[in-house]
Amino acid sequence: MAYNHKAELSKPERFVGGHRLCAGCGAGIVCRAMTRALDEGDKAVICNATGCLEVSSFLYPYTAWEDSYIHSAFENAAATCGGVEAAYQVLKRKGKIDGTYKFLTIGGDGGTYDIGFQSLSGAMERGHDMVYFCYDNEAYMNTGIQRSSSTPRFANATTSPVGSASLGKPQGKKDLTEIMAAHHIPYVAQTTFIGNFKDFHEKAHRAIYTPGPAFVNVMAPCPRGWQYPPELLPQLCRLAVESCVWPLYEIIDGEWHLNYEPKKKVPVAEFMKLQGRFRHCFKPGNEWMVEQVQQEVDQRWEKLLSRCV
C-alpha cells in the first residue's frame, strides 16, 4: 500500500480531541496514527491497559474513542482482546455478525514490558488475529514516574533517584521488540514519530492487516518523566533514531528488515542532553556514563545490522 499523506490526513479522526493527555505527550499521537491506519469502513475494538492513556482518554461518560473501547486492568489487556477476537470468529462462522472488525490492544511500557507481559506473550503464542501497540515512554508515568524494565540505564526516576547513593537506574532497558520476535509471530515492528509519519503508518497498517498476531513498539516520549519542554517531542524522536538509540526496523515472517540507516550517526549525548532525567550524566566526573551508554547503543546497532537483510 502506497502511503498518501494527504489522503490519510483527510480521514475522519477516530481518536478525537478533548482528552486529558499532557501537552507534548506521545501517547495521543500513537492513538491517532494507529486508528488512522485502519481502512475506512472497517470497524475496530480497542482494548486499553490501565495507564496514562486510559485515565486521560476515557472518563465515563466522556471518551476520545470513536470505536468500541474496553478498559482492562494493567495485567490483562492482551488477554481481553484475544478473548473478544475469539468470540468474533465464532459469531462470524455462525453468521451472527456482519462487517470487518479489527482488534487492537494498546498499553504503556508498564502494562506491556512488565505487568501485562504474561498475557501479551500468551495472546501472541495462541495466534489471535490482533495487534498490540505499546506506547513506550520508559517508566510508570501515570503513578509517579517509577522505573520500569523499559527505563534506560542511568535515567532518574522516583524509584531509581539520583543522589549520593544512586546514579539513576543501574540496569539497562529490556529489548521487548526482540523478545516479541522470539515468539515467531507474523509481524513485529519498531517505530516512532518521524517526518510525515510514513514509517509509523505503513507499519501500523501492515500490522493490522497481517493475518495473525502482530506487535508494534512505538517510542512515545513523556514530557514529565523525561523532563523536556513539550515542543521538543519531534526533535527527541528524531534524535533517538539518528543516534540509533531507537532504530526503525520490522520483522516480517522471521525476516529482519532495517527501515532507516542514518547517513551519519548522531552521538547519543545529543539525545540525552535534552532530557532532565539524564542531567546528572553531564556533570564533571560522570563522563563515563555517557560513554557507557554510547558503547551499549553501538553494540546493539551492530547486532541489528548483522540480522537485517
pLDDT value at residue 216: 98
List the single range of 6-20, 147-161, 176-190, 279-293 with lowest mean pLDDT: 6-20
For residue 108, pLDDT over 90 is answered with: yes
High-pLDDT (> 90) share of the chain, %: 93
Domain total in the chain: 1
Judge whether residue 309 has pLDDT over 90: no
pLDDT at 130 over 60: yes
Would you tell me how many other CB atoms lie within 10 Å of the CB of residue 195? 12
Region 53-57: what's the mean pLDDT? 95
Distance of alpha carbon 36 from alpha carbon 34, whole angstroms: 5
Parallel, antiparallel or unpaired: strands 166-167 and 187-191: unpaired
pLDDT digits (tens, 9 = 90+) for 203-253: 999 999 999 999 999 999 999 999 999 999 999 999 999 999 999 999 999
pLDDT tens digits for 260-304?
Answer: 999 999 999 999 999 999 999 999 999 999 999 999 999 999 999
Give the pLDDT confidence score for residue 4 in this predicted structure. 80
Which parts of 75-232 fold into alpha helices (H)? 77-93, 109, 117-126, 176-181, 198-209, 223-226
Of the chain, the percentage scoring pLDDT greater than 70 comes to: 99
Q: Helix or strand or coil: residue 53? A: helix
User: In this structure, what C-alpha cell is assigned to residue 55?
Assistant: 485515565
What pTM did the predictor assign?
0.97
Of 31, 122, 133, 51, nearest to 82 by C-alpha is 122
Cell of 94: 455462525
Q: What are phi and psi of 89, to 5 degrees?
A: -65, -40
* 81 neighbors 45 (Cβ within 8 angstroms): yes
At residue 7, the pLDDT reads 82
**How many angstroms separate the CA atoms of 156 and 280, rounded?**
9
pLDDT of 1 reads: 56
Q: Name the residue range of residue 181's domain.
A: 5-307
pLDDT of 93: 94
Tell me, what's the pLDDT at 9?
79
Return the C-alpha cell found at 7.
489522503
For residue 306, count other CB atoms closer than 10 A to its CB: 8
Q: Which residues of 206-235 are buried (b: 16+ CB within 10 A; e: fewer)?
A: bbbbbeebbbbbbbbbbbbbbebeeebbbe
With 60 as the cut, is the pLDDT of residue 3 above it?
Answer: yes
Q: In the numeric block, which cell numbers belong to residue 45?
A: 475494538
Angle at 215 (CA atoms; ends 307, 68), nearest 5 degrees? 165
Tell me, what CATH number does 172's domain have? 3.40.50.970
